[in-house]
Structure formats: C-alpha cells, structure tokens
Chain A
C-alpha cells in the first residue's frame, strides 16, 4: 500500500485499460473496410463476388495487371498460334484467353492526381503562410471581416457553386486542365490554411523577428529564417490537410475533368471488366491510390496532431 502520490487528473489503471479497449475496437472497425479493399485487390474476379464472401482465398495479381492494361478476348485457335508468353503478366492474362493490347489510362490518371494534388498543396501552403503572416503581423484594414469572409467560403455546400464554376471554367478555358484543377483546389483549401497557419504564427513571439531585424535582416529574411522554421509544425499540418482534400476530391473532378486532366477518383469506379465492374481491379487501383497520402501522413504524423489541436497544446 505504498502508493506514490498521484494527480487527480491522471487517469487510473482501469480507466486506461477501458480507453485502450475502446480505441482498439474503433481502430478495428475503421480498418476493416480498408483491409477488405486490400484483400479484394488480390482476389480473382470470381472470388471477389463470391457469396458468402471469402475471407481466405488464393491470392493473384490479376487485379493489378488489369488496372494497368487493356485486354481483348481471343479465340482458342488464335491463342494456340501465339508464341509462349514472355512475361508473368502475359501469362496471367492468357489464362483467361485474352491478350494485352496496351496500357490502360490509369497511369495517366494517377499522374494527374499527383500533379494536381501536390501542386495545389504546394500553392496552398505558399499562399497560406504569406497571407497568415500578414494577417498575424500587419495592421490589415478590416482584418476581422476579411478573416470571416475567408472562412465563409467554406460555409456553403460545394455543389452550390457547381454550375457557376462549370460555366466560368468553360469560358476561361480552364475546364479539364491541370492548372484549372490546381487553382480550384487551392481556392478551397486556402481558407482552412490561412486560419490554421495564422493560429500557429500568432503563437510565435514577434520579438524573434524583431530581434532578427534589428540584428541585420530585412523583414523577408527574418520571415524566412525565423518565422518559417518555427511554423513548420503548422505548415506540415496544413500540407497534410490540403493534400488529403485535393487527393480525394471527387465531385468537382467528375464535373470539370474528362479526357485530359481527369484525376484518379472519377476514373477508378469506371474500370470495367467482363460482365460489369472488375472489382479486383477497382480494389487494386484504390489500394494504390491510398498509398501516397498514407505515406505522406505517416511521415508528417507528429505535426498532424499539432494541427488538430490547433497549437493549443505544446
């Protein structure tokens, strides 16, 4: 009974155990769909639509091959006449009496997603940190009104601006262009970025910059060498949030892109196989699609927490 003194705000042992169980249960529930997608990506088309669903199956890379290729069905005679398959994926396709006729458009769409997602994230962070710095440090006229105005761009459902945007983009020639999508996602993300980053920059004492300015730097140098390094948690958090949004965005991508700048989200559900959707291929595409954001988030996760708590806890 030699219990050392314990703060009353510190949770007890039992409370911690209960909390752990709840978190584990929640993690399991949220992970199941993702695990199912990853699982499906390694199934054969028959296994994917089997009823009851198969938890154990023989894994195959067919889904991944199908995502990246277009194929055509051939007569058995034609298949007989072919030389032996050169690669493992040729072999896999031929088992179903098909031959690869070329690459699919998935690679392009994936590249579009990367360009548009990271492009708009970069632009959002650059513009956001400059705007946030100005709002934080300068006597901007009507500052509070402007800040509210910026936030108010997030207060209506996006579909409300769908038609005006569609018309505007068509007139401006921005429809179905990478630049158009980057501008659009930047505009949407900037409001959150400015608010988030202003919170972080407000926390950095002005004296740091002022000392740097007295010591020989210009304001911009002080901003670069003193403010930016100290705001890096906020910048990382902003980058993650804005990448997640522009990476996953579906509605505007469907509306405004088609042949040229289409991103992966509108493309993935349309992967057609024989007799309807090619579920393993869809799942394979989804799995590949999840990876970059997952990686980015894991790399910057310690800043993400700081972003969620808005610099309140340090």
Chain B
C-alpha cells in the first residue's frame, strides 16, 4: 500500500488544459474520490497516475518514488476500467490470472492466488464461466479480482460502476466500500456521481475545468463548500444560491437580496465584517425554514413526497429555491408561504472569485488544511 503524491501536475492537449497545476496527497490506505462533471480532468489525472497518459509537467510520487516518467507496468498499480476490459476470449479464471501470467508467476502459484481473490470477492463459482455469460455486477467483481490478484500498491478505478443499473450500483457501492475496509488498499476512485463519492470515499477532491477546487472529507465538502461550483455540484438537491448585496450602514452591516421588495436578511458573521457589493448567499435545502411567519414571501410551485421527507420547490422574488422539509409539512402546490434563512447555517460567496467567505457555524473543525486548491 502506498501514498500517492501529486505536485504541480499539469497536462495539456495542444491548446486544451486538461489538468492544471494540481497538488494532491492521497494517504496510505485512503479511499479517495475524484469527483466532477465530464471533461473536468478527473480521468486524465487518474490515467496519469496509472502511466497511461504522460504529464506535460509536474511529478507523481508513489511512496516517495518519482514515477511520472516510468511505464505503467513498473508502477505496480492496478486499474479498473469503466468497461471492465475483460478479455472476451478468456474465461474468468484466465482473466483474473492474466496480470500474474504477464509477470511470469508460475502456474501453481497463480491458481492459488486466483482462488484466494475469488474467495474474497465470492466469485468462486464463476471461475469456469465465459465473460459473455456474466451479468454486469459479476463482470465488475471479476475486474476487481483481476486488479487485486497481484496485490498492487494502489487501485485506480475509473467510474467502475458507470455501466451498471441503479439497483446493482447501490449494492456494488456497499460491496466496494466493504472490500476496502477489509483490505485497506489505497484507492483512487473517479466518478461524476456525487452520491457515489459521498457514500464511499474518505476524502473527495472536486474538480472542474482542470482545477481541483476542494479536497476534503464528504461532510466538510457538504457543509463548507469552498467554492460556488462545489456548492452547486455536491448535494441533491444542490445548495440554494441567492444573489445578494452587502451594504455597510451606520446601524451595522446589512445583507439584502438582489430582488426588488425583499426584506433584509440576517447575514452570517464574517471576521472582517460584511463586504460591500455583490455577494452570493448559499443555503442547503434542509436549512431553509418554510412557513407563513418567515420573511421572504414565496409560492409553492411543486411538492415531492419522498417518504422520509418532502422536497418543496418554491418561487420567490429572489428566484426558485428548493427546501427539504419534514414529511408532515402542510405546504401544498399553489400555497403562499414564506422562507426564512438561519444566518448560522448560511455561507457567503464572493461572486467574482467564486470562493466562500465563511464557514458554517457549528461545523466540525477542519481535520487538515492540506490538499486544498491553493496550498
């Protein structure tokens, strides 16, 4: 098992910058997710760690050893592909044994090691099957077995659940995490599905446009998004983002929403006071108060019943908002009601840079600041 350290890693394809000057440290035994929309550079980052892509500049260290210029086979890393990349002309047994064969492991030893990973992944009964006979989930298990069989220093997974159906994906999520808890292998997991990243990873790096915007544990990412993009990408429904304006007034700083005829909103307290000028107020759907007594007038546009809770879609002068309320909440579509914001559970963003200006009150302290976008 190994620590993976990326420093000033940069990759450009002609004019297009796929990964921009990235610094990340993935700790030994960590389940680390790279999360972002397609084209954000997450897969390119993963492929550079594997050696399938040459970085334009920067370094990749595996346990302190510089590997950026050595070929994939020498890095002793396993890669699980989205399409599994199982050889159709070989059966399950031979597919799993393939990495051992390419390294010249003798047949007897091969069989033993294959049997062992097959036992861990509970696919012993499939060893004689052809790949084409397997269901999606089993193919994924075989692909994992092939990755695990030679005990690599780290696992790299590129959307390994991307082609499975929703039910199988949820089951495999638990299985993958359970497997990781047992073997404790350093794992880098690429996905565009925030649910997947949030549910499995110890730490998540959110990427967009080639930049790592924030690398943090799921809870920190959720409560204290470092940028507007992270706030909008993580969470379902995502954080409500309201255009607002800061005013420095004699009686104290006032935060007003951009829309006409809206009341002043209680602002989160910032160390340097509220900056004057445009701001964005971010509030998670579960932190909005919905009721006629609240100050911002709104109309209920839609109400989804989700069993354990309800999601209300509200039209207010400040725009369309989503609120997560209890399953017994009385609001119905068409009702006129009000929305209230708790300043301790809101985050202000600077719209010009996109970065957050405060941390949510009551959120746990940062475990370590390292791995962030700017050092």
Contact = CB atoms under 8 A, between A and B. Distances in A.
Interface stretch (A62-70, A202-210, A265-273): A202-210
B89 A205 contact: no
**What is the interface residue range for chain B against chain A?**
20 to 34
A125 B103 CA distance: 30
B50 interface: yes
B71 interface: yes
The 9 tightest CB contacts between A and B, nearest first, are A207-B85, A215-B99, A216-B102, A211-B85, A207-B81, A214-B79, A216-B73, A216-B103, A213-B72
A202 to B, nearest CB: 15
A214 B89 contact: no
A221 B99 CA distance: 13
Contacts of B99: 215-216
Contacts of B98: 212, 215
A164 interface: no
Nearest to A208: B85
24 contacts: A207-B83, A207-B84, A210-B72, A212-B98, A212-B102, A213-B51, A213-B71, A213-B72, A214-B50, A214-B52, A214-B72, A214-B73, A214-B75, A214-B78, A214-B79, A215-B73, A215-B78, A215-B98, A215-B102, A215-B103, A215-B146, A216-B102, A217-B73, A221-B102
A157 interface: no
Interface of B: 50-52, 71-73, 75, 77-79, 81-85, 87, 89, 98-99, 102-103, 146, 150
Given A213-B52, A214-B78, A217-B73, 19 more contacts: A205-B83, A207-B81, A208-B85, A210-B50, A210-B81, A213-B51, A213-B72, A213-B73, A214-B75, A214-B79, A215-B73, A215-B99, A215-B102, A215-B103, A216-B99, A216-B102, A216-B103, A218-B71, A221-B102
A259 interface: no
Central interface residue in A207, A212, A214, A216, by most chain B CB within 10 Å: A214
Nearest to B75: A214
A268 B83 CA distance: 55
Contacts of B103: 215-216
A217 B52 CA distance: 12
Contacts, number: 56
Central interface residue in A205, A210, A215, by most chain B CB within 10 Å: A215
Contacts of A215: 73, 78, 98-99, 102-103, 146, 150
Nearest to A215: B99
A276 interface: no
A211 B81 contact: yes
A226 B73 contact: no
Nearest to A221: B102
A213 B50 CA distance: 10
Central interface residue in B72, B75, B150, by most chain A CB within 10 Å: B72
A161 to B, nearest CB: 37
B140 to A, nearest CB: 14
